[in-house]
Amino acid sequence: MESVEGEAGNFTVTVRERPRYVDMDKCIACGICAERCPRKVKDEYNQGLAQRKAIYLQYAQAVPLKYVIDSDNCIYFKKKGRCRACEKYCPAGAIDFTQREKIHKIKVGSVVLSTGFKSFNPSGYDIYGYDSLPNVITSMEFERILSSSGPFHGHLQRPSDNEPPQKIAWLQCIGSRDLHAGCHEYCSSVCCMYAIKEAIIAKEHAGNDLDTAIFFMDMRTPGKGFDRYYDRAGKEAGVRFIRSRVHSIERAGGPGSDDLKIIYVNKDGRRIEEVFNLVVLSTGIEISEEMRKLAQDLGIELDIHGFAKTSSFTPVATSRPGIFACGAFAGPKDIPQSVMESSAASSACSVLLADSRNTLTQEKTYPPEDPIIYEEPRIGVFVCHCGINIGGVVDVPAVRDYAETLPNVVYVADNMFTCSQDTQGLIRDAVKKNRLNRVVVAACTPRTHEPLFQETIRDGGLNPYLFEFANIRDQDAWVHQKEPEKATEKAKDMVRMSVTKAALLEPIEPLLLENRHEALIIGGGAAGMTAALDLADQGFKTFIVEQNQKLGGHAKHVKRTWKGEDGRAFLSDLIGRVQAHKQIEVLLDAEISHVSGFIGNFKTTVMTGSAKREIEHGIIILAVGAEPLKPDEYLYGQNERVMKWHELEELFEKEPERLEQTEAIAFIQCVGSREPERPYCSKFCCTSSLQQSIDFKTRKPDLNVYILYRDIRAYGQREQLYKKARELGIIFIRYSLDEKPLVERTLIDGKDKLKITVRDQILGIPVELRVDYLNLATAIIPKGDEKLAKILKVPLNEDGFFLEAHMKLRPVDFATDGIFVCGLAHYPKPLEESIVQAKAAAARAASVLIKDSVEVEPTISVVDQGKCIGCGLCEISCPFGAIHLVRVTGQGYRAENISALCKGCGICAAACPQKAIDMKHFRDRQILAMIEAGGSR
Amino acid sequence: MAEQAIKLGGKRKSIFIDKVKKLLPEGGNLNLCLTCGACSSGCPATGLENMDPRKFLRMAALGLDEELTSTPWIWMCTMCYRCVYACPMKIDIPALVYAARASWPREKRPKGLVGSCDMALRNMSRSAMGTPPEDFAFVVGDVLEEYREAQPEFKEMKAPIDKKGAHFFLNQNSREPVTEPDEMVPLWKILHLVGADWTYGSKGWAAENYCMFLADDDSWKKIIETSIDAAKELGCKVFLNTE
C-alpha cells in the first residue's frame, strides 16, 4: 500500500502490485519449476536455516498456492534472458516473464492495518553470542526446527552438527524489558507462553529424556488457561523453570565443541554452571522500519515504541478516522487477543459503512437440480496426484483404473491438482456430459476441501450431498510414505468404500431458517453497552437486560485506565449514548428466566420485578461480568485497615486527609488467584496495584509503598508502569505460595497499624513491614452463572467462566450458534480488552443479524417416530438441546429433532436403544455398507 | 548478616542509596532493579563474604545501611563493570560499591590500596611504586639505547620525555619501568612505525591510580591533575591513557 487519499467512507488507496512472473490462473502448484530451477537462495521462511529456489512457494500452506519468481535472485533477471528452466518445464505454461509492476487505485470506505510485527534481531548483542555461536538461535528459528515443514522435517536437531540436543535452555526477555540500545522497554507479552510451548513440544519430539530449562525474570502467563499450562509444564512435562537472568553465553569446553556454557545464580544466590547443547533466545516483538514509514505516509500516529497509537476506549481506531489497526501493530499481543481485535476492527468498519452495506454484493445462483438423474447411481471418480504429495507415493493411474472396475462407476479421471480452478471446470463438464449423479474425489482431506467440491457439483446441477471424499493423502500417502505398494492398495480400498457409500447417498434439502434482526445483550456493563452501541449504530434493534438498577457494572471503579485516560468520563458518556439511542431498549432490574429457539429465532422471557416480557431476537451476547473475591485471609473483613481492589483508592478520594496522615501502604497480589483451588491469574491486578501505588506515591512522595507479589505481570506496554513504580522508589517484595505473608494487627506509639511479615527472597531473611493500610488484589471470580449457562445451554469452564468455542479461532463464539460472549464473564481482563471483545462479539453477531435467512448444515438427525418409545435418552444425551420429547396424541411422548440446533454429531443416534434415530448423510446403512466394502478386497 | 527481621515501614527516612542516587546521572538507575540476577551470574566476586551484586543492591534498597557500609565484600569488587554490561536496567552497581568504600574511615581501608595511593602522592611521578621522575627517565633512556643498538631497523626510534608540542601525551603503568622494562618497547615500536609524535612527561607519567580504587576522591583527583597539567604544559593535543 503506497498511499491512502480522501476521508473515512471515501478513500482512494494506491496499491503497488509487484510482478509474480507466474500466471496465477494457469499455475497448478505442481512444483516442477522449483525442482528444475538451478538457483538456490536462503529460505527466509525457514529463517535462513534451509534453502529454497529462485522460483518458490513462500510456504506449503500459502494462499493462493501459486509459485512466484524472486527476480532479485532469478538467473533470467540477473543475466538478461538466460536459463528459463522453469518456463521450459512448466506443464501448465504458467511462466510469464513479461509481467510488469501494476498500480491499482481502489475505492474503499475504510482501511484496516493488520501488518503484524518483526521479531527482535539479537545480532550484535554480544553477550548472547548469537553471531558467533552456531547453537545460539532465536525462538523463530526454533519454531522452524520443530516444524514438519521446517529445515529438519520436524526432527529436533541443532544447527552446528545436526545432532539431536540433550539439553536445551531458553533465555527470556531478549530484546524486551531491556534498556540497552536497540532493545525495548516494554514486555513482548507472548514469549513466556511460546517458550513453554516450545519446551513441551521439544519434549514431545525428543522424548522425556530431553532436559529443558527456561530462564526467566517474571513468568507472565496471564491469559485464559495459561497458568494451568505453566503448572502442567513444570509438574507433568518436567520443564525446569529457573528464575534467573543469565549474564552471558560462552562456548563450553575446548575447540571443536559447539556446546554452550551458562552461568546463573540459583534462588539461594549460588553461582551454578551448566552446559547446554542448544540455547534458544526468546526474542520479542517490534515494529519494523518499513511499517513506521508506512504509518508516517498514511498520517497514522505511533506511540513511543512504534505501535499504532490507540485509546483504551476506541482500541482499534488509529489517529486517522476510517483507518483501523489490529493485532501486534497495535501493541504486543497473543493470538486470541489479535483475533478478537480483528473482529473488533471489522465491527468498527461495519458501523462506519453501515449505510453502504450490501451495495456491492452479488448473490450467487445455482442451476436447478434435475430430479430425474437421482434414479440410478452413475458415479464419477476423480483421483488426485496432489503434485507429488499423493502421486509421489501412491500409483494414482492404477487407482484410477481400479475405480473404473467398481460397480456404478461410469467415469474416471486423474488430475495433478483436483482442487485447481481449471479442474473444477472439468468436473462440472464431466457431470453434465456423462449424466453423473454421484461424485467421488480421492484426494487430500474433506476437512479443507469438501466444501469446494460440494460447490462444484452444485454448479453442475447436483445436490451437494451427492459428493463423497476418499481421504487418500492425509490418511494414506502421508502416513505410508515408505510403503508405496501398500499405500496404493489402501487407496484402492478407500476409493471402493467411498464409491459404495456414494451409491447410497441421498440428496438433502437445504435448511433455510427465517432470521430475526434484533439483538439481546445480557449485562449492561462496559462490555454489554459497547456491543449494544456497535449493533444499534448499524441499525439493529438491541435490548440490554441488566440485573441491577442502573447501567455501568464494574467499570465505574476504573478511575483511570493504565494509559491515564479518564474512566468515569468514558463510562458516563457510554451510558448517555446508550440511553439516548433510539435502537436500544434497556431493561433494568431484569432477569432472564427462559430462553427458547435457536440462531436467528430466539424467544426470551425477561422478568422485571413481577412483570414478564417476551422478546424475540436473532442473537444473544453474554456480558454478565464477574466480581472480586472477598477473601477470608489477611484480616480482610476483620480489620478496617485491610481493603481490596479500589476500596483504598476510593477511601483516599473521599477523605484526602487520610492519605496525608499515612506513612506506609502495602499491597498483596494474587490473593485467591493462582492458588490450588483457583489456579488462574486474574490478569489485571498487577496493573491496577501499580497504577494505584504510582498515584499514591506521586501525590505523597515520602510515602513508603510495598508491593508483595509472586510475578509482576505488567504484560505488554504496561511494563512502563512497573518501571515508573520502581523509579519512584516503590519496593517490590516477592513471596512464594508456600510462604505467604503474615498480617497482624499492631500498636506503634499508641497508633493502630498493621504488621506484615514476609521473607525477602533475595536476602533470604524475614522483613517486617509496619503499614497503615493493606490493599489486597483479590481474584476476579465468576458470579455463579450456572443457572444462566443452563438456560442458554452454553458451557462454563472449570473455573466457572463461560467457555468459548475455540480459544484462538472462535474466541467470542459459543459452540451453540448465535450466542456470543464478551467481557469479564469470559475471563478477567482490563477495560480495553473488554471493549475489544465486546466489539468483536458485535461483529460476529452482526454477521448473523444482517441476513434475512440463514442456511444451516442439513446433515442432522432424523427420528423414526414409529420406532421411538419415548424413553428420552436422546434428549438427555444431546449437548445442544437439539432433540426433545413431544406429546403425540394417543402415543405418549416421541422424540423430535429441532433442526436449527442440531449439529449432526450423532450422539442421539448412538444413545437410542431402539435405533429409531439416523443421521442424514451418515445413515447406518451407508456407514455399514462402507465398512463391509472396506473388508471385501 | 543479621538473621533477625528487617524492620521497614513507618515514616520514610533518607537512606544511603538515596544519597548515592543524587550523585549519579539518572540516579545510576539504582531504583530500577528487577532482581533478575544477571549481575550476580556474571560477577567474579559472587559468593565471596556470602555476598553478590544483587544482594548488595537489595540491601541498599531495603535500607540496610549498616551492613552495606561494613561488608568487606566491597573491596573484593574489581570495578570490572561486567554487572552493568549485562544488566537489563543498566544499573550502576559499581558506583554504589564505590560510595560504600568512600564511607569507610581511610585508615580502615585495605592496607595495600592505602599504601599504593600514599606512595603515588610522594613525588610528581604519581607512581604507585614510588619511582621518582629521574629514575623513570634513566630506565627509558637506557632501554631505548639498548634496542636502538640491538635492532638496527629501530635505530631511529625515540622515547622522548617532556617533548614540547608533541601531539600525544602518553602515560605508562609504573610496574613496567620498574620490573619489566622490555614490556614498554612494543608500544614504542608501534608509535615509531606509524610515525606518531608523542612524549612521556617527567611529571604525572604513571598511569595507575590506586587512589581511585581506594575511593579517596581528593587524592584520585590530585593524581589525575598532575598528568593533565603536565600534558597541558607541554602543549600536547591528545592524552593517551594506556591503563
The complex's ipTM?
0.90
Q: Which residues of A251-274 are buried (b: 16+ CB within 10 A; e: fewer)?
A: bbeeeeebbbbbbbbeeebebeeb
The runs of H, that is alpha helices, within B24-64 are 38-42, 53-61
Q: Which residues pair with A242 in a beta bridge?
A: A215
- CATH architecture classification, A519-625+783-851: 3-Layer(bba) Sandwich (3.50)
Q: Is the CB of residue A263 less than 8 Å away from at least one CB of chain B?
A: yes
pLDDT, residue A148, reads 81
Task: Give how far the C-alpha of residue A807 lies from the chain's centroid of Cα atoms, to the nearest Å.
Answer: 5
CB atoms within 10 A of CB A506: 12
Partners of residue A727 in chain B, C-beta under 8 Å: 31-32
Query: Are the Cβ atoms of A757 and B35 closer than 8 angstroms?
Result: no
pLDDT band at A179 (very low <50, low <70, confident <90, very high): very high
pLDDT, residue B3, reads 64
* Amino acid (1-letter code) at residue B42: G
Q: Which residues of A689-710 are buried (b: 16+ CB within 10 A; e: fewer)?
A: bbbbbbebbeebeebbbbbbbb
| Phi/psi at B113 (5° precision) | -70, -45
Asked which of A231-235, A784-788, A799-803 is least confident by mean pLDDT, the reply is A784-788
Distance CA B205, CA B219 (A): 16
Domain boundaries, chain A: 19-100, 118-286, 371-506, 519-625+783-851, 628-780, 860-919
Strand order in the sheet with A379-384: A409-415, A379-384, A438-443, A467-471
Distance CA B111, CA B129 (A): 15
pLDDT single digits (tens) A94-142: 999 999 999 999 999 999 999 999 999 999 999 999 999 999 999 999 9
- CA distances to A191, A373, A675, A810 from A334, in Å: 9, 52, 24, 14
In angstroms, the separation between the Cα of residue B37 and the nearest Cα of chain A is 5
HEC readout, A49-78: CCEEECEECCCCCCCCCCCEECCCCCHHHH
Per-residue pLDDT for A5 more than 60? Answer: yes
Asked which of A151-155, A662-666, B106-110 is least confident by mean pLDDT, the reply is A151-155
Asked whether this chain's domains A19-100 and A519-625+783-851 adopt the same fold, the reply is: no
3-state SS class at A557:
helix
Query: Are the Cβ atoms of A767 and B6 closer than 8 angstroms?
Result: yes
Q: Is the CB of residue A742 less than 8 Å away from at least one CB of chain B?
A: no
Query: Are the Cβ atoms of B10 and A767 closer than 8 angstroms?
Result: no
Pairing of strands A438-443, A167-174: unpaired
Q: Is the CB of residue B2 less than 8 Å away from at least one CB of chain A?
A: yes
Average pLDDT of A249-258? Answer: 86
How many helices (H) and strands (E) would you count in chain A?
A: 23, 47
Q: Is the CB of residue B90 less than 8 Å away from at least one CB of chain A?
A: yes
CATH T-level topology, domain A860-919: Alpha-Beta Plaits (3.30.70)
Query: Are the Cβ atoms of B12 and A703 closer than 8 angstroms?
Result: yes
Partners of residue A186 in chain B, C-beta under 8 Å: none
Pairing of strands A519-522, A619-622: parallel
* Amino acid (1-letter code) at residue A883: I
User: Cell 435467512 identifies what position?
Assistant: A853
CA atoms within 13 A on the CB side of B99: 23
- CA distances to A613, A740, A776, A777, A782 from A670, in Å: 42, 10, 8, 6, 16
Nearest by CB to B7, from A248, A732, A768: name it. A768
Asked which of A275-279, A328-332, A782-786, A837-841 is least confident by mean pLDDT, the reply is A782-786
- In a 10 Å sphere around its CB, with 0-12 CB exposed, 13-18 middle and 19+ buried, how is residue A829 labelled? buried
Round the average pLDDT of chain A to a whole number and report it: 94
- Cell numbers describing residue A655: 477523605
Nearest by CB to A177, from B1, B39, B88: name it. B88
How many helices (H) and strands (E) would you count in chain B?
A: 12, 4
Per-residue pLDDT for A785 more than 90? Answer: no
In angstroms, the separation between the Cα of residue A839 and the nearest Cα of chain B is 36
DSSP state of B127: -
CATH T-level topology, domain A118-286: FAD/NAD(P)-binding domain (3.50.50)
Per-residue pLDDT for A372 more than 70? Answer: no
In angstroms, the separation between the Cα of residue B32 and the nearest Cα of chain A is 5
Backbone φ/ψ region at A182: left (φ over 0), alpha (ψ -120 to 50), beta: left
User: Cell 511499517 identifies what position?
Assistant: A291
pLDDT, residue A373, reads 65
Average pLDDT of A923-930? Answer: 95
Query: Are the Cβ atoms of B32 and A723 closer than 8 angstroms?
Result: yes
- Cell numbers describing residue A168: 536445551
In angstroms, the separation between the Cα of residue A42 and the nearest Cα of chain B is 32
Chain A, window 788-847: residues with a beta carbon less than 8 angstroms from a chain B beta carbon: none
Distance CA B29, CA A796 (A): 47
Closest among B87, B53, B83 to B68, alpha carbons compared: B53
Q: Which residues pair with A668 in a beta bridge?
A: A708, A776
- CATH architecture classification, A628-780: 3-Layer(bba) Sandwich (3.50)
Pairing of strands A102-108, A111-113: unpaired
Residue of B nearest to A758 (CA): B5
The residue that leads in pLDDT, A856 or B183, is B183
Q: Is the CB of residue B54 less than 8 Å away from at least one CB of chain A?
A: yes
User: Which of A183, A187, A271, A686 should we substitute to test contact with B (largest number of B Cβ atoms within 10 Å)?
Assistant: A271
User: Which of B34, B62, B87, B93 should we substitute to test contact with A (largest number of A Cβ atoms within 10 Å)?
Assistant: B34
**Do the beta carbons of residue A141 and residue A134 sit within 8 Å?**
no
* Amino acid (1-letter code) at residue B68: L
DSSP state of B75: G
Beta strands in chain B (DSSP E): 6-9, 168-170, 198-199, 238-240
- CA distances to A406, A410, A460 from A374, in Å: 19, 15, 14
Per-residue pLDDT for A654 more than 70? Answer: yes
* Amino acid (1-letter code) at residue B191: L
Partners of residue A663 in chain B, C-beta under 8 Å: 9-12
Nearest by CB to A271, from B11, B12, B47: name it. B47
**Do the beta carbons of residue B77 and residue B45 sit within 8 Å?**
yes
Per-residue pLDDT for A81 more than 90? Answer: no
CB atoms within 10 A of CB A58: 13
pLDDT band at A639 (very low <50, low <70, confident <90, very high): very high
3-state SS class at A413:
strand
Asked which of A28-32, A202-206, A322-326, B238-242 is least confident by mean pLDDT, the reply is A28-32
pLDDT band at B1 (very low <50, low <70, confident <90, very high): very low
Chain A, window 193-222: residues with a beta carbon less than 8 angstroms from a chain B beta carbon: 217-218
Residue of B nearest to A752 (CA): B10
pLDDT, residue A935, reads 86
In angstroms, the separation between the Cα of residue A722 and the nearest Cα of chain B is 9
Pairing of strands A3-7, B198-199: unpaired
Closest among A422, A421, A416, A433 to A382, alpha carbons compared: A416
**Do the beta carbons of residue A384 and residue A441 sit within 8 Å?**
yes
Query: Are the Cβ atoms of B58 and A760 closer than 8 angstroms?
Result: yes
Q: Is the CB of residue B12 less than 8 Å away from at least one CB of chain A?
A: yes
Query: Are the Cβ atoms of A760 and B85 closer than 8 angstroms?
Result: no
Distance CA A125, CA B86 (A): 10
Query: Are the Cβ atoms of A177 and B9 closer than 8 angstroms?
Result: no
Average pLDDT of A59-66? Answer: 82
Average pLDDT of A730-753? Answer: 95
Q: Is A371-506 assigned to CATH 3.40.50? A: yes
Distance CA A282, CA A285 (A): 10
3-state SS class at B90:
coil
Distance CA A354, CA A374 (A): 44
Long-range contacts of A293-300 (CB under 8 A, 24+ apart): A294/A1, A294/A115, A295/A113, A297/A2, A297/A3, A298/A1, A298/A3, A298/A4, A298/A113, A298/A323, A300/A113, A300/A325
3-state SS class at B170:
strand
Partners of residue B92 in chain A, C-beta under 8 Å: none
pLDDT single digits (tens) A471-488: 999 999 989 989 999 999
Chain A, window 156-195: residues with a beta carbon less than 8 angstroms from a chain B beta carbon: 173, 177-180, 183
> If you classify domain A19-100 with CATH, what class do you get?
alpha beta
Average pLDDT of A765-774? Answer: 96
Distance CA A397, CA A445 (A): 19
**Do the beta carbons of residue A770 and residue A754 sit within 8 Å?**
yes
Query: Are the Cβ atoms of A727 and B36 closer than 8 angstroms?
Result: no
Q: Is the CB of residue B25 less than 8 Å away from at least one CB of chain A?
A: no
